[in-house]
Amino acid sequence: MTIDSTHPLSDRRWHWLALAIGLGALVWLLGPVLTPFVIAALLAWLGEPLVARIQRGGRSRTTAVLLVFSLMTCVVVLSVLLLVPLIERQLAQLVDWLPRFGSWITDRAVPWAEKRFKLELAGYVDPTQIIELLKAHWQAAGGVAATIFGGVSKSGIAILGWLANLVLIPVVAFYFMRDGRDMLGHVRELLPRPIEPVVVRLANESDQVLGGFIRGQLSVMIALGSIYAIGLTLVGVDLGILIGIVAGLVSFVPYLGAVVGVGAAVIATLVQHGDWQHLALVLVVFSVGQTIESFFLTPWLVGDKIGLHPVAVIFAIMAGGQLFGFLGVLLALPVAAVGVVVLRYVHESYRHSRLYGADETVSMAVLEDADAVPVGAGEDPFPDIPVAGSPIPGADEPNGVPGPK
């Protein structure tokens, strides 16, 4: 059966396409304005499970939001106060440590490689220029804090905008956390009734994909970074904290964090100590970290939740940054999660379509089977909002006003 171009269904499709294009253009134009709102929405989304758990314990929504908001504020403030100076000291130490690294390359690493592999490398390896370039760049920047505050202090308008965003994020996050479910309920009421069940199901699956990756994998990254940083510091590696943080941040790609961390820690240990004892201790630290991740962290924090493939995560972040800047980086994972869920739904629909060759009666039976429904499809992400077709309180009363109980 073909659909004529004048058919209402065809017009509806063109309306949805125009709406999607318009929303994309609006996001692109309002990118700088939307950035603090997107950050606030992500913070509210991260705190929603804890808010719901406190609510189930008998607290009101406002009380639960106040408790979670206060906890998140304390964590963010303490992290900034502790990590920023610590990372800046580690970076300054790295710059001071670079000449030792250059001497180690020219005096030990290159001669050993030439003797071992019968190659002529001395004429092609000159770390002096790279080291001087890095030192000059760091001295010009004046450190992490100086760079940040120097950039925002070039004009009074920039300072006001930076401070406004800094104040706006926690305020908007609080309101999103408190009233987010009501906002989603209003959005649900505006959805066309024929597509409302499908949209709700896809929204629930998208939330599961994001929750499986961000809440679970982010916890694993923080735990691994802490284990590596503490372990390398106890072993005696001067740059242990910096190496541990970097290894933890890139550990969302399987084995990449361990490879990067082991490579950097081995080089730092050989340059600083140059003995097999410290090298063995470094390898023990990463072996312990990988064991804890495999047997405890990943099963406990991530479990069998649906996650995004690491390649999809990398591509989404790079593409979002290229297209929309910092706002694109923030929106990359939510958009990628929705895209994965929609593609999975399209694939499932295609597998049960006549175009694929499946019998219509059999396909309907499969779709109605509970085992064929994707995980979370039967759950309602808006349990407090009446579903379409359900009785509305007060609808049977005169003028729609409920009578006295």
For residue 124, name the pLDDT band (cuts at 50, 70, 90). low
**pLDDT for 217:** 80
Under the banding of pLDDT at 50, 70 and 90, the label for residue 377 is very low
d(CA 405, CA 195): 36
CA distance 392 to 404: 16
> How crowded is the C-beta side of 12, counted as CA atoms within 13 Å?
7
pLDDT of residue 112: 80
Q: Which residue has the higher pLDDT, 157 or 356?
A: 356
Q: What pLDDT digit, counting tens, does each position of 86-109 carry?
A: 888 888 888 888 788 877 877 787
CA geometry: angle 214, 19, 10, nearest 5 deg: 120
Among 385, 11, 403, CA closest to 179 = 385
Q: What angle do CA 131, 135, 139 make, to 5 degrees?
A: 175
| Residues 245, 264 contacting (CB under 8 angstroms) | no
pLDDT, residue 381, reads: 45
Distance (Å, whole) CA 172 – CA 40: 6
> Per-residue pLDDT tens for 62-90?
999 999 999 999 998 898 888 888 888 88
pLDDT tops 60 at residue 173 = yes
What pLDDT digit, counting tens, does each position of 290-326 carry? 999 888 887 787 665 555 677 777 888 888 888 877 7
Do 227 and 247 form a contact (C-beta atoms < 8 A)?
A: no
Task: Identify which has the larger pLDDT, 30 or 376.
Answer: 30
The pLDDT assigned to 355 comes to 80
Query: Is residue 239 helix, strand or coil?
Result: coil
Least confident window among 68-77, 181-190, 344-353, 359-368: 359-368
Task: Read off the DSSP letter of residue 32.
Answer: H
**135 falls in which pLDDT band (50, 70, 90)?**
low
Whether residue 405 is predicted with pLDDT greater than 60 in this model: the reply is no
pLDDT at position 343: 87
CB 118 within 8 A of CB 165: no
Phi and psi angles of residue 248, each rounded to the nearest 5 degrees, phi first: -70, -40
Supply the pLDDT for residue 243.
94
The residue that leads in pLDDT, 61 or 214, is 61
Would you state the structure tokens that stand for residue 103, as one six-digit string?
A: 């001497």
Distance CA 214, CA 333 (A): 9
List, for residues 242-262, the tens digit of each pLDDT value: 999 999 988 877 778 889 999
Quick check: 116 pLDDT over 90? no
Residue type, 76: V
C-alpha 275/C-alpha 130 separation (Å) is: 26
pTM of the model: 0.67
- 264 or 124, which is more confident? 264
Q: CB atoms < 10 A from the CB of 40, how many?
A: 20
Task: Please report the pLDDT score of residue 227 as a whole number.
Answer: 94
What's the alpha-carbon Rg for the chain, to the nearest Å? 27
Q: Which amino acid is at 371?
A: D
pLDDT in tens, 221-238: 899 999 999 999 999 998
Question: Hey, what are 223's tokens?
Answer: 């735990």
Q: Tokens 């600083």 — which residue? A: 272
Distances from the Cα of 87 to the Cα of 97, 145, 158, angstroms: 15, 10, 25
How confident is the model at residue 16, as a pLDDT?
72
> If you count them, how many residues does the chain have?
405
Q: Determine the pLDDT at residue 11.
A: 64
